[in-house]
Amino acid sequence: MNEITKTQQRTRSYWYSDGIAEIVGGVAFVLIGLPLYAAARTGIEMLSTLPLISMILLFPLSARVVRYLKDRITHQRTGYVKYSRPPMSQQRKALIFSILIAISVAIIVISKSNWTLNGMLGKSILLGMGFGIAGTFAVRAWKMQMPRFFIDAATASGLVLVLGFVGAGFVEGVGLLLSVLGVISAEIGMIVLCSYIRRHPKVPVETA
């Protein structure tokens, strides 16, 4: 590993060193997952539209909340380090890949006339989604040398296996998956944040 790669890794690790991103992301997951789970359990279809509204509002809002909290907590203790964004080529590849996945799922749903995604189709997509999330967390844990992300990976993979075994519906399964992951992520983030604050007390402001 060359020095540039090491520097990039340290910068990305610093972004997660305080647990703030996990807390905010966990809360966002819960706010998206709970309405889905409630819609499946109660049969109130209107609740299933709330996650879409939540995603539209939460993604830009959560980024601002993370920056605000870091300015108030992290940067006053250990300084500001600009987070290195991935190259535009990688962003394009990720976007194209996501669009292709969405189109493929839409074509399968239309061809099967299974709009509710029940049965094997929904179970397969749920398993793929859960293992995909688990893989993302596992790669993050390995690349950043942060074992706590393996907890999220194990939770995602274990939960989708249980949901598949008990035959949970797709909407119910996704809602429960996101809600549980959100709670665990937020709890781990709180533990990390408390530890970070203890290790890095706020520097008192000197007055003239």
CA distance 39 to 47: 5
Residue 68's pLDDT is: 92
Is 171:25 a contact under the CB 8 Å cutoff?
A: no
Q: 38 pLDDT exceeds 50? A: yes
Classify residue 101 by burial, with Cβ atoms within 10 Å: 0-12, 13-18, 19+: middle
Residue 200's pLDDT is: 86
pTM of the model: 0.79
Buried b (16+ CB within 10 A) or exposed e, 166-197: eebbbbbbbbbbbbbbbbbbbebbeebbeebe
Residue 106's pLDDT is: 47
Residue 173's pLDDT is: 86
Q: 174 pLDDT exceeds 90? A: no
pLDDT tens digits for range 93-103? 554 555 455 44
Residue 74 to residues 42, 147, 198, Cα–Cα distance (Å):
42, 21, 12
Q: 30 pLDDT exceeds 60? A: yes
The encoded tokens of residue 197 equal 């604050």
CA distance 189 to 91: 26
Q: pLDDT-derived band of residue 6, with 50, 70 and 90 as boundaries? A: low
Percent of the chain with pLDDT over 90: 25
Q: 23 pLDDT exceeds 90? A: yes
Is 156:134 a contact under the CB 8 Å cutoff?
A: yes
What is the crossing angle of helices 170-199 and 148-166, to 10°? Answer: 160
- For the ranges 136-140, 150-154, 174-178, the maximum mean pLDDT occurs at 150-154
Q: Which residue has the higher pLDDT, 84 or 67?
A: 67
CA distance 98 to 94: 6
